[in-house]
Amino acid sequence: MNLEVVFAGDHVRLAEPVLASADLAPGSVIPATAIRDADPDAVPPEIRTVSGRTVFVSAVQRAELERFCLANRIRLQSRPNVWGDLLEPFLDTEFTPERRTVTQARLSQVGLDEDAVAGIRAKVAPLMVAYNAMHWDWCDLGLADLMDAATAPWIPEDRQIKPAERSAFCTWAMKIADLGHSHDRP
């Protein structure tokens, strides 16, 4: 998964295939004015556009992202890790009743009740089970992992997000990632 982008003055250019929304192709330019906020401390660091797209940036570019945001007066802001909580059952570890309770409490705070959580998890379960069977991640799965899984060619065909459905899937996933996040501008 390539997370390298090019910071150039007043815009960001997506390099070769980069993990982002399906409708942001390599070579796309995102002007600073189209960036809502960024989180250099996210794992991986994130740029969020006004249109609701998330672009992931390599951790080695964290300082460069901070400088770009400072130079272009882009707000640095974190948001709840909604997908981290939603994907917790797919980690290679036990999802205890105590963890379920804590996780559901956080998801409830962003507006996801138990039925909504169950529906979302059911939708992504085949994909994330296949994905983590390869990675064996036991610490954290999040939006970046979901986007990686959605575009990974090695996922079994019957569990893949079909190319024609990827843009809608990415839009859906990124809207969920933004739950509980304030979109107010300074």
- Give domain limits for the chain: 5-76, 82-177
Beta-strand (E) ranges in the chain? 5-8, 11-14, 29-31, 35-39, 46-49, 54-56, 75-76
Place of tokens 């003055």: 9
Per-residue pLDDT in tens (0 to 9) along the chain, 186 residues: 567 889 999 999 987 654 445 456 656 889 999 999 999 999 899 999 998 889 999 999 999 999 999 999 999 999 899 999 999 998 866 778 888 899 999 999 999 999 999 999 999 999 999 988 877 655 678 999 999 898 888 889 889 888 889 889 989 999 999 997 765 433
Contacts of 180 (CB under 8 A, 6+ apart): 79, 80, 82, 109, 110, 111
- The verdict on whether omega for the bond into residue 17 sits within 30 degrees of 0, i.e. cis, is no
